[in-house]
Structure 1
Amino acid sequence: MLPVKSTTNLSQSTIEALEKRLTPYFADRKKYKRFNIELEDLSQEIDLSHPLAEKAIENLKMFDLSRDSLRANSIIALNSVIRSWVSFNRMFNEKSLPCDPLMTIAYYMHLDSEGKKLNTIKQHQAQISKIHKVAGLPNPNDHAEVMSFIRTLQDTMAETDDPRAIPDQAYPLRHTDLKALSAIYSKSDKVDDIRDMAVLSLAYATMLREEEVCELRIKRMELLDDGGIKITRNISKTENTDLRPKYINASFAAPIMKYFNLRTNNDLDRLNAIGDEFFVVGLTPRSTSLRNPSTAITPKTFNKIFERAYGLLHPEFVELKQNLSKQSVKDSVNKKELGNTYPYWTGHSARVGCIVDAYEKRVELNLTDKDLMDMGDWRDMQMVNKYIRRFSKVANGPSATLQDHLEF
């Protein structure tokens, strides 16, 4: 449906005719994941006595139509915050839009009391700001007292050594790990092993984000004469124009070629025929064959590929999981139950590991800051530093480097 504004000059008959004409357009949008997710309805959460209330309702309708170029995962995250934030306001019979600065501080106190991490609270803060901006309403997070509270919360966590102040970061899958896995997987002709090694190699070599790998279609992958692969892209999390292709050399492409031979029954000429199929596909229950090539795998399935790979190099991790699962009478256990003993890999681990490896070899390979940013489609070095700070030996600063070269 068209987001009809009260200020429109169009007649009702024109609006009805437009909606009838555009029915195929709205039906076609459903093939895109971002439009298959229902946005939380905030129309009942607006303070109608506010002078901008009517305009805010119209703005939210327009946002629902365009989705502001948000990816599916971003919409899911936005919905999650909206539900939590609206629920808190309803407990006190308060409207969520616009949110009173005092209620905003109280909400962040509520998140803090629930043990949420600092980054999680900041994510809620960012989403609340986004909704107010979209609606065209005053942003409570711009209020001096709200900003002061967030700064104080951050300082307090730091002063008390609160572990919640430390940002989560995926444990890196390094080049040495990839080589060790290749030595194991290369000896196997099992379907799941062939697929998993191809995914791990591609994820590391390209540094594509989890969602980008899941949504990658074969037609975007061009086989090169030198045995490598070229991946063309039209969108990423941070850019949607002039994206550089990703190149995979023959060495890293070898597991992918083995996987392609599996997909085509050793007839690579058939790749064009299956171009619309996804690169990463699911497995049958016993992992003996591939299935649903026209359906993108879920992030959960993608993460399982990395978790299984971690278990191959750390069999004690698999044993611990099995024991904990028996104790809790569950099919699986989560990271909190495993503690910090085994920080197993997730779908983001190859991206982290590759940039850590590149940073440590930047002098040897003559890599510039721009080269490092281009690798991850980042716009500044701040993101690079966030990725490497906990895992790179050379990220400890010039003082540590000097000490390593001096005797004491």
Structure 2
Amino acid sequence: MHVESSSFSKQQASLDRLFARCEGAYSENTLRGYRNALKQFQGWCKERGLEWLPAEPHTIANFLDIEVKTKSISTIRHRVDAISFAHRMADLPSPAEHSEVRLALRRARRAKPRRPKQALGLTAELLNKIVAACPDTLGGRRHAALISVGYDTLCRSCELVAVRAEHLSDDFSHIYILRSKADPFGDGRVAYLSSANIQRVQTWLDASGIVHGPLFRGLHLGTVSHQMLGTSSIRRLIKRAAARAKLSDESVQALSGHSMRVGAAQDMMVAGVDTIGIMHAGGWKSQAVLARYVENASAEQLHHKRWQHLSSVFL
């Protein structure tokens, strides 16, 4: 028992050292996700008396064959990425490239062919319903501004909570998005606000008294916190606002912190904005990723737009 405890302590120390080296080079979210995934793999290996670093290809393959029984394919892929990351950071060859691991991944994909569940897009139609139902209170003004900014800027939740008052232009017409998941080195992008949403931001700032620091913050007993909202708070806030607007229970459950980004991309597609324009607006680097966002855009609206175009051409 003492030997097992000592071995686990050494493994934990090794994991801590590995991630200590990476601080500042990767985002906190990335490191947190990799750490959690590696803890799962490390614990699985410890139960079986196997080495986790370096790991043998058949060890990883067996791990994946067991994990796929209860985990989604996206979780399986993330754990392989984390294992590969650990080996790279330890200057070891990645066993994830071995044929045994590749075959295990293919088995996992074939065992779970279902597509990833897409969050319900918070389109302009839903946005207007939700914002109209926000009460004229401090919390209601924050909700209206946050949801509107999220829609206009196509920000991910982590980007939205990181926005600071200093990132707003003097006339509030645009926001500088400093860093994103697809922009780890902080090249940044500029996102623009509609006139209606400029007013909602102004109303929130006037009510909250925020001049600098995080734009969207927590509230406690009517007092504005100094701390920015957590990403999980975005999801809860959207669901509460949607329930207040009397959206169906099914719609409320389908909304997430990504819903504003999804809905805005879908609206842009329906409006005829080209792919490059949508990618630029949302900070996407991959057309394949964008395609998954917009594929649920209203087919009826797209067909009507096509028919209108064809009728004007052939008349």
TM-score bucket of the superposed structures, by smaller chain: 0.7 to 0.9
1:169-248 map, 5 Å: 169-185=118-134, 188-224=135-171, 228-239=172-183, 240-248=185-193
Which amino acid in the other structure matches residue 260 of structure 2? A
TM-score by length of 2: 0.85
Is 1:280 matched with 2:216? yes
In the other structure, the counterpart of 1:374 is 280
User: Aligned partner of 1:91: which letter?
Assistant: E
Specify the alignment match of 1:332 in structure 2.
Answer: none
* Matches of 2:21 and 2:126, distance apart in 1: 45
Structure 1 residue 93 and structure 2 residue 49: aligned?
A: yes
Q: Does 1:313 align with 2:218?
A: no
Work out the CA distance in 2 between the residues paired with 1:152 and 1:284.
49
Supply the AA of the counterpart residue of 2:28.
A
* Matched ranges for 1:100-111 at <5 A: 100-111=56-67
Q: Deviations over 1:121-157 (max 9, x none)?
A: 1111111111111112121211112101211221233
**CA distance in structure 1 between the aligned counterparts of 2:173 and 2:8, rounded to whole angstroms:** 46
Corresponding residue number in structure 2 for 1:334: none
Change (3 A) 1:218 1:397: closer
**Does structure 1 conserve the Cα–Cα contact (< 8 Å) formed by 2:239 and 2:252?**
no
In the alignment, what sits opposite 2:255? 345
1:135–1:202 CA distance, 2 compared to 1 (3 A): same
CA distance in 1, matches of 2:106, 2:302: 26
Query: Would you say the 8 A contact 1:373–1:384 is kept in 2?
Result: yes
The aligned length equals 299
Give the structure, 1 or 2, with the largest relative contact order (CA under 8 Å, sep 6 or more): 2
CA contact (8 A) 2:208 2:224 kept: no
Question: Residue 298 of structure 1 aligns with which residue?
Answer: 230
CA distance in 2, matches of 1:388, 1:375: 14
Q: Indicate how the Cα distance of structure 1 residues 212 and 238 shifts in structure 2: closer, same or farther if over 3 A, else same.
A: same
Amino acid paired to 1:175:
A
User: What do residues 195-249 of structure 1 show as CA deviations (whole Å, max 9, x unaligned)?
Assistant: 100100000000111111112111111232xxx4221233222223442321212
CA contact (8 A) 1:205 1:354 kept: yes
Does residue 126 (structure 1) correspond to residue 81 (structure 2)? The answer is: yes
Q: What are structure 1's unaligned runs of at least 5 residues?
A: 1-40, 47-56, 159-164, 265-270, 318-339
1:392 corresponds in structure 2 to 297
8 Å Cα contact 1:60/1:135 also seen in 2: no
What is the rounded CA distance, in whole Å, between the counterparts of 1:42 and 1:296 in structure 2? 36
What's the RMSD between the two structures over aligned residues? 2.9
Q: Deviations over 1:234-285 (max 9, x none)?
A: 3222223442321212122121111111123xxxxxx6xx31x211111124
In the alignment, is the contact (CA less than 8 A) between 1:60 and 1:134 conserved in 2?
no
| Cα distance in 2, alignment partners of residues 341 and 388 from structure 1 | 18
Q: Which residue does 1:356 correspond to in 2?
A: 266
Contact 1:181 1:313 in 2 (8 A): yes
Structure of higher CA gyration radius: 1
- Counterpart-to-counterpart distance in 1, 2:8 and 2:186: 32
